[in-house]
Structure 1
Amino acid sequence: MGAFLDKPKTDKKNEKGGSAAFKYATSSMQGWRVDMEDSHTAKIGLPQLPQWSFFAVFDGHAGSKIAEYSSQHLLDHVLSHKKFQNFVNNGEQYDEMTDEDVKEAIREGFLNLDVKMRELSTTRNDNDRSGSTAVCVFISPKKYYFVNCGDSRGFLCRDSNVHFSTEDHKPGNPLEKERILNAGGSVMIQRVNGSLAVSRALGDYEYKNVESKGPTEQLVSPDPEITVVERDDNNDQFIVLACDGIFDVSTNEELAEYIISRMELHDDLVKVCNSVVDTSLNKGSRDNMTMILLTFPAAPKPSQEAKTREEEMEKKLKAVVHEICSEVKDEPLDMSALMQNLAARNDIENLPPGGGVFAKRCVVDAVFKEYVGKTAPEGS
């Protein structure tokens, strides 16, 4: 559930890096939540596997301990598996690990990490009730291994379309609900026992105490769903990994379109990520927000045509906002009403796809200040 602040915290933490094969950037923002419970991992070139990379977003709930520990140790639990160790020891004999070997290592890495964190919590006697979703991608020279446990999400954009997306693990999903009921639980208001909104997660040990059931048969399962996607270096554009604070207010397609439109303006990936986070806040997200963007050589490039189109759109938007504000005589201006008015109009062409006027809140706000003498409170 979570508690909320009177005003969102909009400071962002960023990270960026890259290699010859791809570039990446991250953005994290606390938003309206009282605490920041997200964490993430970004590793280019894995220990003893320099051609592999790993990226992950962890969305914590009821605390940040599980998310933080997972971000620091999940990769180690996967790489220490005998399948990866055998591959490393005999690596010169093979181009790629088999998909089944990689899946086995990832799956057991998740399960072993979950056991380890439970042991640590018991040893500390801290009664930690936190849990965390996880969405990850392992990148090998030829494949992507998408991994999902919970309702954070990852997708691949190829040829300007969402080519693949992970599926959220929600209690109302038929297979998830069947497992929950078989473990003696219930699904009410789309939540496990009427409380937890995800059906798979690391941690959440109060939902993993059915003695007659195995670790993947509990009310909440740490079992990840793993999908293998062949790389297409000529057409793969970017991968997004993000928590539900992003996807609560945007579909996969909307987010992909918005990212493409921003990349056509500039090649600053941090700026693109921050724009997604800000736009998500403006669209109504009340959650923590974390996003990782990985781009490949086929990603959209900046163009003067796109920049000119954006400039003309902003000029038109400013004129419309001036017109609306100047017509308000006797009643005080209301930013929320103004944004809704603008969102309902159809005479402002070339607003960012997937973001609309909410992606241009700063432009609206600049004009709004001229009429009220100060910036409108966020979310007002």
Structure 2
Amino acid sequence: MDLFDDLPEPTQTSGRLSAPSASDEEEERTAKRRREDGGEDVEVKRVCKEGLPELKAYVAARRGEREEMQDAHVLLPDLMGFLPSQPELVSRLSYFAVFDGHGGARASRFAAEHLHHNLAKKFPPTEPGRSCRLTCVSVGRKPSWKDGSTATCVLVVDDVLYVANLGDSRAVMCRTEAAADGQQKLLALALSKEHNPTIYEERMRIQRAGGTVRDGRVLGVLEVSRSIGDGQYKRCGVISTPDLRRCQLTANDRFILLACDGLFKVFSADEALRFVLNVLQEAGVEQKAGLTEEELRFEAACQQLASEAVKRGCADNVTVILVSIGC
């Protein structure tokens, strides 16, 4: 299987993202030749791509009817400061993640505190996807406690998304496309793959390892077939190897939604995206110092989506992250 599962991309229209110019491509080729020459007296220039979309992240969390908030999240619009050395040909590095804990909050908090640090240590600009996979595997095996956690992590390298996920938390892209009647068509692009024991490949792996699937759960207990932690289930075929997807941002992309399964128990992906779009299009918005109207709308959409999930009867923890993709 390929390391990356590329998502389909519509023909890009004119907008905030532009193709690299001839001078940009020549500069990249020059930088590559300089690195290959290995000359100590030659300065390698860092390539700065113009027209990168601006990313801003918003989060809302609700405890629901649970006694404890077991979710955790990370918002790092600038991950560069965590790298041991600055990459030469990368202009922007961002990281956003949601972790849905079960059996306790230790695994989700551990992942939120450590995964991006480990990723930064392993990050090579030529193979960011491999870095994501190795990081999830290493972090997923370390906790010896019985707590477990899902993980849905988005690494943005310039204008390319690398999404690694374990379990049933999800990432969805809101992309618009011109329809035949001239209207804008909404596309909900899945950036993650759900891992539960009822999926054939997951069930077969669990059974080959000597485990069983009862009532849609591993050993009749665990709802997910891949996770961080869950040490007692690793012998039953529950693994910490994530699925990876790569997606090129386009001028038609509006925002990215990351959320735990608490949201998707009461919302389909399409419904969640349309709910956000409706809030973004509302006429009135309360002004707050230091925030633009667009920022206020995204903040309101994020908070209202999480609250609506609870109103619809979700008793689970709910964590929602919206990453706006702007000019």
Aligned equivalents of 1:247, 1:273: Cα separation in 2: 14
> 1:185-205 deviations in whole A, cap 9, x for unaligned?
011100001000000000000
Indicate yes or no: 2:245 matched with 1:245.
Answer: no
Residue 33 of structure 1 deviates from its aligned partner by 0.6
Aligned equivalents of 1:162, 1:20: Cα separation in 2: 19
Q: Which residue does the alignment assign to 1:174? A: 200
* Residue in structure 2 matching 1:114, options 140, 151, 154: 140
Paired residue secondary structure (1:198): coil
> 1:90-144 deviations in whole A, cap 9, x for unaligned?
xxxxxxx34xx222211111111123323xxxxxxxxx31100001110111200
Greater Rg by CA: 1
Paired residue secondary structure (2:320): strand
Aligned equivalents of 2:190, 2:109: Cα separation in 1: 27
Indicate yes or no: 2:191 matched with 1:191.
Answer: no
RMSD: 1.6
Aligned equivalents of 1:205, 1:38: Cα separation in 2: 19
Indicate yes or no: 2:289 matched with 1:289.
Answer: no
* Residue in structure 1 matching 2:246, options 228, 231, 235: 228
Paired residue secondary structure (2:64): strand
Aligned equivalents of 2:189, 2:220: Cα separation in 1: 34
| 1:28-43 aligned within 5 A | 28-43=61-76
Paired residue secondary structure (1:208): helix
| 1:1-380 aligned within 5 A | 21-46=54-79, 47=81, 48=83, 51-81=92-122, 84=123, 87=124, 97-98=125-126, 101-118=127-144, 128-159=145-176, 160-209=186-235, 218-232=236-250, 234-265=251-282, 266=285, 267=294, 268=296, 269-297=298-326
Letter of the 1:222 counterpart: S
Q: Which runs of 5+ in 2 are unaligned?
A: 1-51, 177-185, 286-293
Letter of the 1:39 counterpart: A
Letter of the 1:79 counterpart: A
TM-score scaled by length of structure 2: 0.73
Contact 1:192 1:219 in 2 (8 A): no
Letter of the 2:105 counterpart: S
> 1:191-249 deviations in whole A, cap 9, x for unaligned?
0010000000000000113xxxxxxxx521101101000111x1110000000000001
> 1:297-341 deviations in whole A, cap 9, x for unaligned?
27xxxxxxxxxxxxxxxxxxxxxxxxxxxxxxxxxxxxxxxxxxx
Paired residue secondary structure (1:262): helix
Q: Using a 3 Å threshold, how does the CA distance of structure 1 residues 40 and 246 change in structure 2: closer, same or farther?
A: same
Q: Which residue does the alignment assign to 1:343? A: none
Aligned equivalents of 2:243, 2:67: Cα separation in 1: 30
Contact 1:249 1:284 in 2 (8 A): yes
Aligned equivalents of 1:286, 1:179: Cα separation in 2: 31
Aligned equivalents of 1:166, 1:39: Cα separation in 2: 18
Residue 176 of structure 1 deviates from its aligned partner by 0.3
Paired residue secondary structure (1:287): coil
Paired residue secondary structure (1:80): helix
Residue 20 of structure 1 deviates from its aligned partner by 6.9
Aligned equivalents of 2:142, 2:221: Cα separation in 1: 25
Paired residue secondary structure (2:63): strand
Letter of the 1:193 counterpart: L
Q: Using a 3 Å threshold, how does the CA distance of structure 1 residues 172 and 20 change in structure 2: closer, same or farther?
A: closer
Contact 2:108 2:148 in 1 (8 A): yes
TM-score scaled by length of structure 1: 0.63
Runs of 4 or more off by more than 3 Å in structure 1? none
Aligned equivalents of 1:136, 1:156: Cα separation in 2: 13
Larger RCO (CA within 8 A; separation ≥ 6): 2
| Structure 1 or 2: more helix by fraction | 1
Letter of the 1:271 counterpart: A
Contact 2:155 2:162 in 1 (8 A): yes
> 1:263-307 deviations in whole A, cap 9, x for unaligned?
112432222111001111111111000010011127xxxxxxxxx
Q: Which residue does the alignment assign to 1:347? A: none
Aligned equivalents of 1:135, 1:115: Cα separation in 2: 16
Contact 1:185 1:193 in 2 (8 A): yes
